[in-house]
Copies of this chain bind each other. A is one copy, B any other.
Amino acid sequence: MLLCDIGNSSYHFLDEQEEYKQNISSFDPASIKERVYYISVNASLHAKLQSLPNWIDLSNYIDRDKYYKTMGIDRIFAVESIANGVVIDAGSAVTVDVVKNNKFIGGFIYPGIQAMQKTYENISPALAYSFNFECDFDIMPKNSQDAISYGYLKTLYCEVIAHKLPIILTGGDALEFKKIFPDAKIDTALIFHTMKKIIQQNEDILC
Chain A positions within 8 Å of B, measured between CB atoms, are 8, 41, 67-72, 92-93, 96, 98, 105-112, 115-116, 118-120, 122-124, 126-127, 139-144, 146-148, 150-152, 154-156, 158-159, 162
Q: How far, in Å, is A134 (CB) from chain B's closest CB?
A: 16
Of all chain B residues, which has the CB nearest A75? B147
- Give the chain B neighbours of A159 by CB distance below 8 A: 154-155, 158
A-B residue pairs, 3 tightest by C-beta:
A106-B140, A155-B155, A108-B150
Q: How far, in Å, is A70 (CB) from chain B's closest CB?
A: 5
Interface pair B123/A93, CB less than 8 Å apart:
yes
- Give the chain B neighbours of A8 by CB distance below 8 A: 123-124
Of A106, A109, A143, A152, the most chain B CB neighbours within 10 A belong to A109
Q: Tell me whether chain A's interface is mostly helix, strand or loop, or mixed.
A: mixed
Docked CA distance A123–B119 (Å): 11
A-B contact pairs, 20 of them (CB 8 A): A68-B143, A68-B144, A70-B143, A71-B142, A72-B126, A93-B127, A96-B151, A98-B140, A106-B139, A106-B140, A107-B147, A108-B148, A108-B150, A109-B151, A111-B116, A111-B120, A111-B151, A112-B123, A155-B159, A158-B158
Interface pair B70/A144, CB less than 8 Å apart:
yes
